[in-house]
Structure 1
Amino acid sequence: MGSEIQEIKNTIVQRLPSRVQVAKVEFEGPEVVIYTKNPEIITENGDLIRDLAKDIRKRIIIRSHKSVLTEPEEAINRIHSIVPDEAKITNISFDDVTCEVIIEARKPGLVIGKYGATSREIVKQIGWAPKILRTPPISSEIIQRIRRTLRKNSKERKKILQQLGNRIHRPITTENEWVRLTALGGFREVGRSSLFMQTSNSKILLDCGVNVAGKDDKSSYPYLNVPEFVLDDLDAVIISHAHLDHSGFLPYLYHYGYEGPVYCTTPTRDLMTLLQMDHIDIAHREDSPLPFNVKHVKKSIKHTITLDYGEVTDIAPDIRLTLHNAGHILGSAITHMHIGDGQHNFVYTGDFKYERSRLLEPAVAKFPRIESLVMESTYGGHEDVQPTRNDAEKDIIKTIYQTLERKGKVLIPVFAVGRAQEMMIVLDEYIRHGIIDEVPIYIDGMIWEATAIHTARPEYLSKDLRDQIFHMGRNPFISEVFHKVNGIEERKDIVEGEPSIILSTSGMLTGGNSVEYFKWLCGDERNSLVFVGYQAEGSLGRRLQKGWKEIPIKEEGKTNVYHVKMDIKTIEGFSGHSDRRQLMDYVRRISPKPEKILICHGDNYKTLDLASSIYRSYKIETKTPMNLETVRIQ
């Protein structure tokens, strides 16, 4: 390790102009940090750093040495004189551990400036390296909490990153001769996704989810008790996206002593924190506590390293990680791993959507290299063909129009992340164009906070949405048609009031405020309930889909029966998953073609059906491992 950092330091010193005073060079996690007494010389020569990073094949960060930093009060004055008022700076704080100034602004692009000119000027004038963050147009409690946690624990985080730097850059002990995958959850089932990868030199966990519909510990959590899974030996955890069936068990690792990193995109970190906190809160209210608590969620935040799509990062001595857009929810990622010196390239799709939606771009299908692929099969059965988005939208608009005509209310139970925001965009557009009447749209439950996180990360949204937000100055999420619901009194007013549309969690009517609205609205035949997402077996949503007209619900120790007169409608086509056609099309178009495909995240029949169809159509070797099976992929 010592020799590698020395080698890199020597290369840096040789390549930088002689007038650059390098104070020290350190590894902080996967990054090389250069501390210098005159950072402006380097920041003014971006090509030099880009070439250097390419040369040593590392991510490079430039920071000032403490001796050249301007006093905070003076630094704030200078920042305000450099950055135009239109940037709308909302907060400036200083991190003297990393020598960074954290600038939060409504329009961060104006703090960066054209080709980074403004941020370079900031470095030149004050020495502090600017870390520029977006202030979301909808205030987000979770984002504020995460930023506070990182600020308060900056010293501890730097220590964590330095230790991680040593671990990542340790010498390779044996030649890379094999790669093995062990299915720990989410194989031939949906829920508790978890996949354990081992090479001759490293061990990586891909996803760590829970099955929220599980009856007991055995069916709810991944099989982390396999003998080869040892927390102390784990190099990294990669989380593909924020849904609980992929991220919900992550805090458990920290409860049991994991001290290593988590890699994911920034929206995934923010959204999974929101969902994990909510999961703990619900479990507490229902008096069924989880095997971890809020303290472990905070610990995971301190250990999380966020990556942008396309950013290549060392995560172990023999593994480089790149995340690509998966098109499923905000920040969802397809994981590409380059193992050894090019011996094997592995791709894990997580949940993905191979179609452009109003919210997101379609999943990436082109990779530099790929030998093996693990892909989901939620809708992998040959009958799983969904209507087009266009048809689905026509269907929901027709249902809303008819309900409002008869002076009814429309209840749409939705998942807080993904489906809710897709609905908001659709409804805003059709109201704006006068296709449906302008009625209030009430947003209830966790949706508002999840939407706030979407507004903080517009760069992850679809091109059409980005154009609306950045170039046309229109953000559909903050449209005046949406009203945040605050408390039970307001709910009663909504139910007794004029015709309206209600978006509320939970999406399967398994709890939350959507159940309360259902109880209030179900007895009136003018009203409609519209399902736009999957309804699991056993859920209240599934019973209504099956045509139940009498619904028993336990309340305060007794069972009340609700008589259903409202119109119940299911509209397919809004799913964040690829349907059967898209899954087959993805394999047809993926480039280059993998030699081996493993199928996960689907029930037994769908997994087998998709695997055999892929083999018949494309003659690619396919496998459908069961949980606890290990497959050698190299």
Structure 2
Amino acid sequence: MSSVDRQLEELEAEIKSEIPSDISVSAVKYEGPELVVYTRDPKKFAQQGDLIRQLASKLRKRITVRPDPDVLSRPESAREQIMDVIPEDAGVTDLDFHADTGEVVIEAAKPGMVIGRHGSTLREITKKVGWTPEVVRTPPIESSTVSNVRNFLKQERDERRDILERVGRQIHREEMSNDEYVRITTLGCCREVGRAAFVLSTPETRILIDCGDKPGAEDEVPYLQVPEALGAGATNIDAVVLTHAHLDHSALLPLLFKYGYDGPIYTTEPTRDLMGLLTLDYLDVAAKEGRAPPYESEMVREAIKHTIPLEYGDVTDIAPDVKLTFHNAGHILGSAVSHFHIGDGLYNVAFSGDIHYKDTRLFNGAVNDFPRVETLVLESTYGGRNDYQTDQEDSERKLIEVINEAHEQDGKVLIPAFAVGRSQEIMLVLEEAMRKGKIPSMPVHLDGMIWEATAIHSTYPEYLRDDLRDRIFHEDENPFLADEFNHIDGGEGERQEVADGGPCIILSTSGMVEGGPIMSWLRHVGSQEDSKMVFVGYQAQGTLGRRIQNGWDEIPINDRGGNGGRSNTLKLKMDIHTVDGFSGHADRQGLEDFVRTMNPRPEKVLCVHGDESSVQDLSSALYHEFNMRTFAPKNLETFRFK
């Protein structure tokens, strides 16, 4: 008998000793980080309101209780009883019964009303019918991504449960080594922005954190071939953690499955959906530009199938010697500061991912309240000594001035924007400005993936800023549904109509002007002297966006109009503006404040994900201000911390 089977036998015996004698336990299994308890008495379990919580506290494990399939009521009768329990205002749109696990997935416009205060309605459902309810939100804006992900995971339930059982046994295996050390190896994004990737190693475990591309440099990928990563084989990696969905952190995750990786990816639920959206688009763009994609779309589906979503604040075992906790990073939807607790109090490491320290219109500011952090791996995108961004109110005022000036000249405002994060931030600014009469009401055209990304934001309002979340819960106050917003879905013909029409605002991907529909908009309106182009996000070195920002007014552009697809140059006549207060990254002050307000502060800080001068400036400043050890590592360095 394996050590895991012995452990499960002991847990089953302990559970039986803790619960009333009239409640049966027929099986105990690991599924990923959760302990699943099967019972023939689910209704009695539900009647003991605090029983599961008490068991979880005593066993120090996340516990799910499921009914044995042969004691379930028929779905037809269960459906009626469930609908009797749930308030009508919850807006239930679907009930999906899964007899193999005894779960019923309830999709509703207002999941909180299905859950009830402290889970009271969920317990009432189980008391009535025995089925274990799982609740998901009906997207207020129809999202093909959310729908496709949910349908795919439903189709793959059997295989996914096999994956989770295998992962669960791996997490709870017996520790094999008596050594104690913690190492971080840098595989990318050191003294550069992009291709984020790190390996966190202990004697037991190797965890890959992020695996992205480098904007403007398709050939520069993380150093995955080194022995610390895939050099010793894909099974060398025990788990992957994804901090957020932007491609410079996520683009090459599906590549791992091409190389044979078969383990879990831990991230938040919205990051899982956004990763699917962005990586599939990444493949599409590569194909359109004549580049060989690094992996097939099937690998994206494998990545989604292997994803284990975690919520902010949940402490989760992901290895025999590692616990992971996600905290809001304030950067984009679902972005997470990833805190690793290693060993039995041995060491704590936090990876910031990308962070925004102050509240924005979209998100609450990044969380930095950890019980312990000895080492912090900190992004430094705006870590340079002069990287102080404009106050958000001043930024909004400046954007409104530019829009009003363009409107008075009968011109258009073209805003290259990242589909995820900056676009929704700008949409909120524009919606309020028009509602309050600060700018005239005019069409706001959303091109590329922006509308789909916005639909995903509306699906997960619990990840948004508190007041925005409350507005989205009430459909008639959802700012993303304002009449001015128009989804461009008619291709070149619709773009030409917009270009020939009156004043408007155009938000289009890509945010760094590296391909995508923004190139079409430059062809259509770039030569209009009365129009304006406004940069609202970071432009990495080597990107066309950075060159235009630096004064280029003749840009290479593909001419699809009968020139055989050859590259031409376009003379930009529109005014170019930069409004820098909308970045999803903390500026220099925000990064310093993030460290300053940590209590206790870390002993060591690795400054990463920034140009060479930015990481060195921030590293030096943190050393002098807080008297801590700081580093500006290069790629392929390994740091030992214990």
Scaled by the length of structure 2, what TM-score is found? Answer: 0.96
Structure-2 separation of matches of 1:417 and 1:588: 29
The aligned counterpart of 2:208 is 205
Structure-1 separation of matches of 2:194 and 2:552: 26
Change (3 A) 1:200 1:552: closer
Deviations 1:581-611 (A, max 9, x none): 1111111111211111111111112111111
The aligned counterpart of 1:575 is 583
Change (3 A) 1:215 1:113: closer
User: Quick check: 1:31 aligned with 2:31?
Assistant: no
**SS of residue paired to 1:54:** helix
**SS of residue paired to 1:70:** coil
The aligned counterpart of 2:356 is 353
Residue 176 of structure 1 deviates from its aligned partner by 4.8
Structure-1 separation of matches of 2:390 and 2:145: 35
Residue 482 of structure 1 deviates from its aligned partner by 0.7
Residue 561 of structure 1 deviates from its aligned partner by 3.5
Out of 528, 531, 536, which is 1:527 matched to?
531
Counterparts of residues 202-241 of structure 1 (less than 5 Å): 202-216=205-219, 219=220, 221-229=221-229, 230=232, 231-241=234-244
Out of 104, 115, 121, which is 2:118 matched to?
115
Deviations 1:458-503 (A, max 9, x none): 0000112123223695111111221111112222221111211111
Cα contact 1:176–1:340 (8 A) shared by 2 = no
Residue 547 of structure 1 deviates from its aligned partner by 2.5
Residue 147 of structure 1 deviates from its aligned partner by 0.7
Structure-1 separation of matches of 2:272 and 2:552: 39
User: Quick check: 1:144 aligned with 2:147?
Assistant: yes
**SS of residue paired to 2:105:** strand
Cα contact 1:97–1:154 (8 A) shared by 2 = no
Tell which deviates more after alignment, 173-182 or 559-568.
559-568
Partner AA of 1:492 in structure 2: Q
The aligned counterpart of 1:182 is 185
The aligned counterpart of 1:588 is 596
The aligned counterpart of 1:403 is 406
Change (3 A) 1:355 1:294: same
Structure-2 separation of matches of 1:70 and 1:215: 55
The aligned counterpart of 2:157 is 154
Cα contact 1:97–1:158 (8 A) shared by 2 = no
**SS of residue paired to 1:366:** coil
Out of 90, 99, 123, which is 2:93 matched to?
90
**SS of residue paired to 1:454:** helix
The aligned counterpart of 1:165 is 168
The aligned counterpart of 1:495 is 499
Residue 507 of structure 1 deviates from its aligned partner by 1.2
Deviations 1:526-556 (A, max 9, x none): 2111111122334332232223333342323
Residue 296 of structure 1 deviates from its aligned partner by 0.7
Deviations 1:186-211 (A, max 9, x none): 11111111110111211111111111
Partner AA of 2:579 in structure 1: I
Change (3 A) 1:513 1:215: closer
Out of 171, 191, 194, which is 1:191 matched to?
194
Structure-2 separation of matches of 1:553 and 1:541: 13
The aligned counterpart of 1:67 is 70
Structure-2 separation of matches of 1:593 and 1:60: 33
Counterparts of residues 542-553 of structure 1 (less than 5 Å): 542-553=546-557
User: Quick check: 1:271 aligned with 2:259?
Assistant: no
Measured on the aligned residues, the alpha-carbon RMSD in Å equals 1.5
Deviations 1:206-247 (A, max 9, x none): 11111142252xx2x111111233321321100000011111
User: Quick check: 1:602 aligned with 2:602?
Assistant: no
Partner AA of 1:601 in structure 2: H
The aligned counterpart of 1:130 is 133
Out of 501, 509, 515, which is 2:513 matched to?
509
Structure-2 separation of matches of 1:160 and 1:459: 28
**SS of residue paired to 2:600:** coil
Cα contact 1:95–1:154 (8 A) shared by 2 = no
Cα contact 2:387–2:588 (8 A) shared by 1 = yes
Out of 512, 537, 542, which is 2:541 matched to?
537
Partner AA of 2:532 in structure 1: S
Structure-1 separation of matches of 2:620 and 2:573: 44
Partner AA of 1:101 in structure 2: V
Deviations 1:37-83 (A, max 9, x none): 12122223332211211111110001111112122222222222222
Cα contact 1:420–1:447 (8 A) shared by 2 = yes
**SS of residue paired to 2:580:** coil
Cα contact 1:93–1:103 (8 A) shared by 2 = yes
Cα contact 2:414–2:532 (8 A) shared by 1 = yes
The aligned counterpart of 1:105 is 108
Cα contact 1:26–1:33 (8 A) shared by 2 = yes
User: Quick check: 1:372 aligned with 2:349?
Assistant: no
Change (3 A) 1:472 1:445: closer
Deviations 1:300-328 (A, max 9, x none): 11111000000011000011110001111
Structure-2 separation of matches of 1:28 and 1:116: 22
Residue 89 of structure 1 deviates from its aligned partner by 1.7
The aligned counterpart of 2:337 is 334
Cα contact 2:175–2:320 (8 A) shared by 1 = yes
Structure-2 separation of matches of 1:278 and 1:44: 48
The aligned counterpart of 1:298 is 301
Partner AA of 2:6 in structure 1: S
User: 5+ unaligned residues in a row in structure 1: which ranges?
Assistant: none
Cα contact 1:358–1:464 (8 A) shared by 2 = no
Partner AA of 1:593 in structure 2: R
Change (3 A) 1:472 1:302: closer
Cα contact 2:328–2:337 (8 A) shared by 1 = yes
Structure-2 separation of matches of 1:316 and 1:261: 11
Scaled by the length of structure 1, what TM-score is found? Answer: 0.97
**SS of residue paired to 2:570:** strand
Aligned residues: 631
The aligned counterpart of 2:620 is 612
**SS of residue paired to 1:22:** coil
Change (3 A) 1:471 1:145: closer
Change (3 A) 1:489 1:557: closer
Deviations 1:236-280 (A, max 9, x none): 100000011111111011111111100000011011110001001
Structure-2 separation of matches of 1:479 and 1:316: 46
Residue 131 of structure 1 deviates from its aligned partner by 1.1
The aligned counterpart of 2:443 is 440
Partner AA of 1:545 in structure 2: Q
User: 5+ unaligned residues in a row in structure 2: which ranges?
Assistant: none
Structure-1 separation of matches of 2:468 and 2:634: 40
Structure-2 separation of matches of 1:311 and 1:552: 48
Structure-2 separation of matches of 1:604 and 1:544: 22
The aligned counterpart of 2:558 is 554
User: Quick check: 1:313 aligned with 2:316?
Assistant: yes
Tell which deviates more after alignment, 247-256 or 66-75.
66-75
Structure-2 separation of matches of 1:246 and 1:592: 28
The aligned counterpart of 1:621 is 629
Cα contact 2:328–2:365 (8 A) shared by 1 = yes
Change (3 A) 1:85 1:202: same
**SS of residue paired to 1:20:** coil
